[in-house]
């Protein structure tokens, strides 16, 4: 599972991986500039879509998809065991990924957090 947080002062969206997810994803955290975040959606159905070519990470069909994947020219980062809790974070001008697909404890709250971070005061 991942913890998503926003630091508006530093202009960063941070995704921290918990427990064994660090092993499955080969990462402990991702930091994405808020300027590169386009939005987020709760999308349980994405787990049924093709993942593409695994570049680094873990995939056991029906159990876990984690790590870096390439699909039709798109760079994806996955960390999902329970598709019902999958959140997709869309990125623009991304240096490393086009989309992050992560499992979170509360998908609605995470989507709201990301969407609020995009509003300019």
CA separation for the pair 13, 23 (Å, rounded): 21
* pLDDT tens digits for range 3-20: 999 999 999 999 999 999
Residues in the chain: 121
pLDDT of residue 98: 96
Mean pLDDT for 102-111 is: 98
Strand 12-17 and strand 64-71: the pairing is unpaired
Check pLDDT > 80 for residue 81.
yes
| Mean model confidence pLDDT for the chain | 94
What total number of domains does the chain contain?
1
Distance CA 102, CA 91 (A): 13
Domain that holds residue 38: 2-117
Which pair of structure tokens corresponds to residue 105? 């404890």
Instruction: Tell whether the model's pLDDT for residue 94 goes beyond 80.
Output: no
């Amino acid at each position: 599972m991942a913890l998503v947080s926003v630091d508006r002062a530093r202009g960063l969206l941070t995704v921290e991986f918990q427990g064994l997810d660090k092993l499955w994803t080969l990462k402990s955290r991702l930091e994405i500039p808020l300027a590169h975040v386009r939005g987020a959606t709760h999308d349980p159905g994405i787990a049924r879509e093709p993942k593409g070519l695994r570049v680094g990470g873990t995939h056991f069909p029906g159990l876990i998809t984690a790590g870096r994947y390439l699909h039709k020219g798109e760079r994806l980062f996955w960390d999902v065991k329970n598709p019902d809790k999958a959140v997709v974070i869309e990125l623009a001008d991304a240096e490393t990924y086009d989309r992050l697909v992560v499992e979170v404890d509360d998908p609605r709250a995470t989507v709201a957090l990301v969407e609020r971070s995009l509003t300019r005061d």
